[in-house]
Amino acid sequence: MQDKSKLLETPVRYFKGVGPKRSEILSGIGIETALDLLYYLPARYEDRSVFTKIKDLKAGEYQTVRGKIVTTGSRASKSGGRVFHAAITDDTGYIQATWFNQPYLADYLKSGSIVVFYGKVERYDRLQIVQPEYEIVKSDETDSLNMGRIVPVYRLTKDITQKYLRTLIHEAVTGYSRSLLETLPTYIVARDKLVDIKFAISNIHFPANFNNLEKAYRRIVFDEFFILQLALALKKNDLVSAPGGGLSHRLSGELTGQLVKSLPFKFTKGQEKAIADIERDMSSGRVMNRLLEGDVGSGKTVVAAYTLALTAENSFQGAVMAPTEVLARQHFIVLSEFLLPLGISVALLVGGMDPKSRAEIYAKIESGNIDVVVGTHAIIENRVRFKKLGLAVIDEQHKFGVTQRSLLKEKGDNPHILVMTATPIPRTLALTVYGDLDISVIQDQPLGRKPILTYWVEESKRAEAYSFVKEEIAKGRQAYIVCPLIDASAQSAKSKAQNVTDMYEKLKTEEFAQFRVGLLHGRMGPKEKDRIMTLFKKGAIDLLISTVVIEVGVDVPNATVMFVENAESFGLAQLHQLRGRIGRGAFESYCILFADPKTEEAAKRLKSIEETLDGFQIAETDLQIRGPGEFFGIRQHGLPEIRFGNILKDFAIMEAARHEAFDLVSRDPKLEEGRHVAMKKSLFVRFKDNINLIKVA
């Protein structure tokens, strides 16, 4: 007896109407077997189950109409092509359908035929449907795939039509879906009230009604989220159960105690909680994999300093990797201030260093004469060898690719991992982006910080805003002006976006001629950028004209004004990060957003940033506006592609799937029980793209 599951491996070229050429085209969109056809899920649906009488049609809406063709014809278009049209009636009125450059339709659509049209109704001189989908009704048939029902709409490629693909998938559903094996354990299907997989696949493509579609959707989405969470649960279990490699740290307080005593401030409750979490991890004998999440200015760096001191206290080395040279240098300065007085050596390793200096640092890292190395991706180069790496700190980690993060981990023998981000992660994304990490959140701000006042202003208020900036500088404060572009070469003909080069030349000779004006952007060499930031930090520059190179990590307590040009061109998270460069001292601070939004979405972003300082609330709004795919570059940052579900709309399903996945792994850590082995194999094969991503995350 043939194994039913083998039928699902039937090549698509053996399906009716495919052949070698179409088989190759279908392969380009991931369809090679019967199983691929079954899981080539609709992008959306159109309700064509209700026919609208012609007299009731409304312009501007997509509607389905059925009638008899009464006239057809064609004419030349103004562009030189041909226009074919057909008018139909259903005894309540007439409507004309029009197609461009499809003269062959004359062979199919003939007077007297009964047809169904689906498309957008428009009114010119009269009602008509332009380029509608059509189907000729041969009799009183009611089982059409394209009309008179809830119709699936698929993503297409060249030379493949919706009708053709629906027919092909219908053949797969009717002939092969019975061979699908139930992948989930029976108790999960029952506990979560899920429908059978055969029912789900049949009704996700060709639902009998909306109730069936909803049940099918929930099952398919649950499967997709379950395999993602199962992989994360397995990965987390592997990390937690990995041998400690001698990394169980003593909490002697030898250096950490000295650090706490030297600080001119007290830790906030959020910092104390994060430190307690970290100490528990690092003294447990298991590898720490923790995300330290906190809003801009919440004090993550001093928590990292404490963790590095604990590492040095136990005779291990620490590495801190930042995404930009500006941020790496900033961390080097701040961490040196914290750690050097404790006798902990700190070195900087970035791409712009001369070969001799780099070689000296390489040697000291390898010999163990450097306790903490701070740098960019230069840290993960092959020539960098640690004697005893015990802690890897990755800052703003979402700006790194998964491979870069893995390379840093491999520099040691199961080093503890502390991931930091100043970009608040909505809980909906935290379960996917960081599903394998433990999370500590610092939600409070250091004592003495004043709320930043944010204003969205229009061009007509520019002179007034400049006067305000001058007043702040006259008080001894400093200011930033941030532009989206470096110079005019990056500017399109229609764009009015400001660039730092022209802005700098204009302001230093005109509006702010009496002040010390500096320029900073990404094309500058490392030494020049470092020189400018040092001058600004020392107060030798009053006004810094910059690009978003200062977006993260820059800490100048005396700066009280953030002036953002073309603010409508920035994302919410980026605006919040820029605003976070000010308000870091005891002075009242102001964020001025110059913007002329052309879309409702851009205006919504500006209104949101103006109304709240809560980074977590801003992140939720940003996620709603942009969606998860753009919130982080999904594939770049290790988040598997969710091809069908929506982690915002379907968050309740995500939570249910996560609970079941982590519960299963807690009871069967290697998925070795008989019923789980088959599930693991079938699910991992079906979602192989997701698993490959997770393996390198």
Domain assignment present for residue 505? The answer is yes
Within this chain, do residues 668 and 600 fall inside the same structural domain, yes or no? no
In this structure, are residues 227 and 683 in contact, taking their beta carbons and an 8 Å threshold?
yes
Tokens of 532: 């400018």
Domain assignment present for residue 398? The answer is yes
Amino acid in position 470 = K
Question: Which SS3 state, helix, strand or coil, does residue 141 take?
Answer: coil
221-258: pLDDT as tens digits: 999 888 888 877 887 776 655 554 446 788 888 899 99
Packed helices 210-241 and 688-696: angle between N→C axes, nearest 10 degrees: 30
For residue 692, pLDDT over 50 is answered with no
SS3 content of the chain, % helix, strand, coil (to 5): 45, 20, 40
For residue 397, pLDDT over 70 is answered with no
More confident residue, 292 or 243: 292
CA distance 422 to 292: 9
Tokens of 680: 């693991």
Domain assignment present for residue 638? The answer is no
- pLDDT at residue 385 in the model: 93
Number of H helices and E strands in the chain, helices first, is 24, 21
Within this chain, do residues 275 and 411 fall inside the same structural domain, yes or no? yes
Helix (H) or strand (E) holding 275: helix 269-282
Tokens of 683: 């699910």
Give the residue among 657, 659, 652, 656 at the shortest CA–CA distance from 690: 657
Residue owning tokens 């698509």: 12
Scored b (16 or more CB within 10 A) or e, 157-167 reads eeebebeebbe
CA distance 113 to 594: 61
Amino acid in position 57 = L
For residue 619, pLDDT over 80 is answered with no
Residue owning tokens 């001093």: 302
Residue owning tokens 């000010």: 582
The pLDDT > 90 percentage for the chain reads 33
521-575: pLDDT as tens digits: 888 887 888 889 889 989 999 999 998 887 665 678 899 999 999 888 887 878 8
Tell me the average pLDDT across 614-631: 67
Question: Which SS3 state, helix, strand or coil, does residue 208 take?
Answer: coil
Q: How many CB atoms lie within 10 A of CB 453?
A: 13
For residue 445, pLDDT over 80 is answered with no
In this structure, are residues 474 and 542 in contact, taking their beta carbons and an 8 Å threshold?
no
Give long-range contacts, CB 8 A cutoff, 24+ apart: 353-362.
Answer: 353/526
Within this chain, do residues 269 and 406 fall inside the same structural domain, yes or no? yes
The pLDDT > 70 percentage for the chain reads 87
For residue 687, pLDDT over 60 is answered with no
Scored b (16 or more CB within 10 A) or e, 263-283 reads eeeebbebbebbbebbbebbb
For residue 586, pLDDT over 60 is answered with yes
Q: Which of 286-300, 580-594, 602-616 has the highest mean pLDDT?
A: 580-594
CB-based contacts of 176, cutoff 8 Å, min separation 6: 7, 8, 10, 34, 35, 37, 38
Tell me the average pLDDT across 352-379: 91
| Residue that is last in its domain, among 105, 124, 148 | 148
Domain assignment present for residue 167? The answer is no
Within this chain, do residues 358 and 476 fall inside the same structural domain, yes or no? no
Within this chain, do residues 458 and 577 fall inside the same structural domain, yes or no? yes
| Residue that is last in its domain, among 595, 612, 629 | 612
Q: What confidence category does residue 200 fall into, taking pLDDT thresholds of 50, 70 and 90?
A: very high
In this structure, are residues 533 and 520 in contact, taking their beta carbons and an 8 Å threshold?
yes
- pLDDT at residue 304 in the model: 95
- pLDDT at residue 138 in the model: 67
Question: What is the distance of C-alpha 230 from the center of its chain?
Answer: 20
Tokens of 326: 């500006």
Going across the sheet that includes 372-375, the strands are 346-349, 372-375, 317-321, 389-395, 416-421, 289-294, 438-442
- pLDDT at residue 683 in the model: 59
- pLDDT at residue 450 in the model: 80
Tell me the average pLDDT across 566-591: 85
93-151: pLDDT as tens digits: 899 999 988 888 888 888 988 888 888 898 887 889 988 888 777 655 455 787 778 88
DSSP 335-386: HHHHHGGGT--EEEE-TTS-HHHHHHHHHHHHHT--SEEEESGGGGSTT---
Burial class (CB in 10 A: 0-12, 13-18, 19+), 153: middle
- pLDDT at residue 485 in the model: 86
Domain assignment present for residue 619? The answer is no
Within this chain, do residues 365 and 339 fall inside the same structural domain, yes or no? yes
- pLDDT at residue 555 in the model: 77
For residue 488, pLDDT over 80 is answered with no
Domain assignment present for residue 29? The answer is no
Going across the sheet that includes 517-520, the strands are 453-457, 590-594, 559-564, 478-482, 543-546, 517-520
CA distance 225 to 355: 48
More confident residue, 370 or 484: 370
Q: Which of 177-186, 369-378, 522-531 has the highest mean pLDDT?
A: 369-378
The CATH number covering residue 499 comes to: 3.40.50.300
Average pLDDT over all residues of the chain: 83
| Residue that is last in its domain, among 397, 421, 445 | 421
In this structure, are residues 52 and 147 in contact, taking their beta carbons and an 8 Å threshold?
no
Give the residue among 250, 440, 402, 253 at the shortest CA–CA distance from 342: 253
104-113, 529-538, 576-585, 616-625: segment of lowest average pLDDT: 616-625
Tell me the average pLDDT across 469-498: 80
CB-based contacts of 257, cutoff 8 Å, min separation 6: none
- pLDDT at residue 246 in the model: 47
Within this chain, do residues 525 and 571 fall inside the same structural domain, yes or no? yes
Residue 592 β-bridge partners? 455, 563
Q: Which of 76-80, 202-206, 325-329, 690-694 has the highest mean pLDDT?
A: 202-206
Give the sign of the dihedral formed by CA 294, CA 300, CA 306, CA 309.
Answer: positive
Domain assignment present for residue 9? The answer is no
CA distance 103 to 83: 7
Within this chain, do residues 564 and 684 fall inside the same structural domain, yes or no? no
Burial class (CB in 10 A: 0-12, 13-18, 19+), 598: exposed
Within this chain, do residues 513 and 555 fall inside the same structural domain, yes or no? yes
Within this chain, do residues 261 and 235 fall inside the same structural domain, yes or no? no
- pLDDT at residue 691 in the model: 42
Burial class (CB in 10 A: 0-12, 13-18, 19+), 292: buried
Domain assignment present for residue 621? The answer is no
52-61, 141-150, 589-598, 637-646: segment of lowest average pLDDT: 637-646
Residue owning tokens 């649960």: 233
- pLDDT at residue 313 in the model: 93
Tell me the average pLDDT across 330-350: 93
Helix (H) or strand (E) holding 153: strand 150-153
- pLDDT at residue 696 in the model: 31
User: How many domains are there within the chain?
Assistant: 4
In this structure, are residues 376 and 321 in contact, taking their beta carbons and an 8 Å threshold?
yes
645-680: pLDDT as tens digits: 777 778 889 889 989 999 998 888 888 777 787 777
CA distance 422 to 584: 14
At residue 311's C-alpha, the angle toward residues 305 and 315, to 5°, is 135
Residue owning tokens 């490699």: 245
The CATH number covering residue 124 comes to: 2.40.50.140
- pLDDT at residue 240 in the model: 59
Tokens of 526: 């490392």
Within this chain, do residues 261 and 392 fall inside the same structural domain, yes or no? yes
CA distance 124 to 414: 70
- Could you give the count of Cα atoms lying within 13 Å of 581 in the half-sphere of its Cβ? 31
Tokens of 467: 């006067």
Burial class (CB in 10 A: 0-12, 13-18, 19+), 222: buried
In this structure, are residues 305 and 338 in contact, taking their beta carbons and an 8 Å threshold?
yes
* Range(s) of the domain holding residue 317: 256-284+299-421
Within this chain, do residues 265 and 413 fall inside the same structural domain, yes or no? yes
CA distance 533 to 530: 5
DSSP 381-418: STT---SSEEEEEEETGGGS-HHHHHHHHTTSSS-EEE
